[in-house]
Amino acid sequence: MGNQSLVLTSNHLGDTNMIASILADLLEVGSILLLEGNLGSGKTAFAKAFAAGLGIEATVTSPTFTLIDEYTCGRLNFYHMDLYRLSSQEVKELHLEEYWRGVDFPLGIVAIEWAERLQALPKAYLKLSFSRLPESDRREIQISARGDYYLKIASSQSLLNFCC
C-alpha cells in the first residue's frame, strides 16, 4: 500500500470550494476523508463545499457539539464528524469505524475534522491537512493518500490541473 502527497494552494474561499467540488465528484461510497489543521484553517469550509458537491442542500455546520452529523439527502450519504472537544479515550468510545464498515450504517463518505485525534487510523484514506499561510488569507492544502484507491484520486488529472 503506497503513499502519495500533493500540495494545493487556495488563494480564496472559491479555490477551497473548487477543490471540495472536484473531490466530491471523484470520491465514491465508502471513502474516508481525514481533515486536519488549526482552528480557522478551512476544514469546515471545505466540508460545507464538499457536501454541496454531493448535492446536499441542508445547512452544513461544524458538528463540534453534536460530534456527528449525518446527511442522507445527497448523491451519497455524508457523515461529518468533529473530534475537537474529545479526549483520545472519548474518540475511541465513539467507534467511528462503524461508519466505514457498512454494517451498522449505510456506507457513505466520512469526513472527520480534527482527525489527528484518532488513535487508530483506517487502513486507507485521503488526508487533507489545512494551514493558513502567514499574513494572508491564502491556505495550503496538503493531500496525502494511503491505499491504491486514494492514490488514484490524489493523482487524478482534475486535481493535478488545479495545482499545476
Residue 4 identity (one-letter amino acid) = Q
Measured CA to CA, the distance from residue 75 to residue 47 in angstroms comes to 15
Residue for cell digits 446536499?
A: 56
90-119: per-residue pLDDT in tens? 888 888 888 888 788 889 999 999 998 888
Measured CA to CA, the distance from residue 35 to residue 112 in angstroms comes to 6
Query: Which pLDDT value is given to residue 64?
Result: 74
| Percent of the chain surpassing pLDDT 70 | 96
Angle of helix 43-53 relative to helix 13-26, nearest 10 degrees, comes to 50
Measured CA to CA, the distance from residue 34 to residue 32 in angstroms comes to 7
69-84: per-residue pLDDT in tens? 899 988 999 999 999 9
Query: Which pLDDT value is given to residue 3?
Result: 64
Residue bearing the bigger pLDDT, 92 or 153: 153
Query: Which pLDDT value is given to residue 2?
Result: 57
Out of 30-39, 124-133, 140-149, 153-162, which region has the weakest mean confidence (pLDDT)?
Answer: 153-162
Query: Which pLDDT value is given to residue 54?
Result: 96
Q: Is 115 helix (H, G, I), strand (E, B) or coil?
A: helix
List, in order, residues 6 or more apart from 19 with CB less than 8 Å away.
8, 10, 46, 141, 159, 162
Mean pLDDT taken over the chain = 87
Q: Are strands 32-37 and 125-132 parallel, antiparallel or unpaired?
A: parallel
Number of Cβ atoms within 10 Å of the Cβ of 24: 22
17-67: per-residue pLDDT in tens? 999 999 999 999 999 999 999 888 889 999 999 999 999 998 888 877 778
List, in order, residues 6 or more apart from 124 with CB less than 8 Å away.
1, 32, 146, 147, 148, 149, 150
What is the pTM for the complete model shown? 0.90
Query: Which pLDDT value is given to residue 59?
Result: 86
Q: Is 92 helix (H, G, I), strand (E, B) or coil?
A: helix
Residue for cell digits 500533493?
A: 6
